[in-house]
């Protein structure tokens, strides 16, 4: 898919990776970029069409899909992250994670797929995580939600391929965003994440693995998980 001349919509555009997607799309010549967020007043990128969108609200998703009926590229970036225990904290936290990353992303995909097909086909990018493939203490609910979103991505790719729509799974470790504030470890520049994903769109990649950490985790899946978790707990 050629980014130049495309009509893109990015969820969670007010900061972090979503904002970098918006600016990268403009720089690459997208004809129109819909920048969306639950709080659209926080979107500050000039040259975009701002829309309110809460991916966990069916009415909000339907309204955005009706407004942006010319979309050919959808970037499902919106997400949340909480640090909680699966065994001792409120289960509502896990439900919020699943409602956002799994059900919200799927609802948005379902809403925009007909428009993308009607407009001649295109691409959907789902922003996932290295945590689609592993977990560490405190990340359980997020990791479960991302693992579910990853396999949902694989499933909808099969269903959408006959309709001329490609689906990309984008995996990364920690990115230097507000969500990762206080993280003591290597972080990738959000601009690099957006660039890698859009390069993947242009070569019709099923999957884009942004950084070495994510590549290492993916490679470890073929081995005894004890080795990976010994490294994590160390």
Considering the chain, what is the average pLDDT of its residues?
93
pLDDT at residue 181 in the model:
53
pLDDT over 70, % of the chain? 94
Query: Quick check: 234 pLDDT over 80?
Result: no
pLDDT at residue 184 in the model:
59
pLDDT, tens digit, 9 for 90 and up, residues 139-168: 899 999 999 999 999 999 999 999 999 999
pLDDT band at 185 (very low <50, low <70, confident <90, very high): low
For the chain, what is the radius of gyration of the CA atoms? 17
What is the number of residues in the chain? 234
The neighbour count for residue 160, using CB atoms within 10 Å, is 20
pLDDT, tens digit, 9 for 90 and up, residues 83-106: 788 999 889 989 999 999 999 999
Q: Are 228 and 217 in contact (CB under 8 A)?
A: yes
Please state the separation of Cα 165 from the chain's center in Å: 16
Q: Which helix (H) or strand (E) holds 101?
A: none
* Domains of the chain by start residue, with CATH: 7-233 (3.40.50.720)
Residue position matching structure tokens 């609200």: 57
DSSP state of 13: T
Distance CA 79, CA 38 (A): 11
pLDDT at residue 82 in the model:
78
Residue position matching structure tokens 């809403």: 111
pLDDT at residue 182 in the model:
56
pLDDT, tens digit, 9 for 90 and up, residues 30-62: 999 999 999 999 999 999 999 999 999 999 999
Query: Quick check: 201 pLDDT over 70?
Result: yes
pLDDT at residue 231 in the model:
84
pLDDT band at 178 (very low <50, low <70, confident <90, very high): low
Q: Are 188 and 172 in contact (CB under 8 A)?
A: yes
């Amino acid at each position: 898919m050629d980014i130049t001349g495309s009509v893109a919509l990015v969820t969670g555009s007010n900061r972090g990776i979503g904002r970098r997607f918006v600016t990268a799309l403009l720089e690459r010549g997208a004809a129109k970029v819909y920048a969306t967020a639950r709080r659209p007043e926080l979107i500050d990128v000039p040259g975009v069409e701002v829309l309110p969108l809460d991916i966990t609200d069916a009415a909000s998703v339907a309204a955005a899909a009706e407004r942006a009926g010319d979309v050919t590229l959808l970037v499902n970036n919106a997400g949340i992250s909480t640090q909680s225990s699966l065994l001792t904290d409120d289960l509502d936290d896990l439900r919020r994670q699943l409602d956002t990353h799994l059900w919200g992303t799927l609802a948005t995909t379902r809403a925009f797929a007909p428009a993308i097909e009607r407009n001649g086909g295109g691409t959907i990018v789902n922003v996932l995580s290295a945590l689609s493939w592993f977990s560490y203490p405190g990340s359980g609910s997020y990791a479960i939600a991302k693992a579910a979103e990853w396999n949902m991505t694989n499933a909808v790719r099969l269903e959408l391929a006959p309709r001329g729509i490609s689906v990309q799974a984008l995996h990364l470790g920690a990115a230097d965003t507000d969500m990762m504030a206080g993280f003591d470890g290597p972080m990738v520049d959000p601009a690099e994440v957006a660039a890698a994903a859009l390069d993947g769109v242009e070569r019709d990649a099923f999957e884009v693995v942004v950084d070495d950490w994510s590549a290492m985790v993916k490679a470890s899946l073929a081995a005894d998980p004890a080795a990976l978790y010994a490294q994590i707990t160390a």
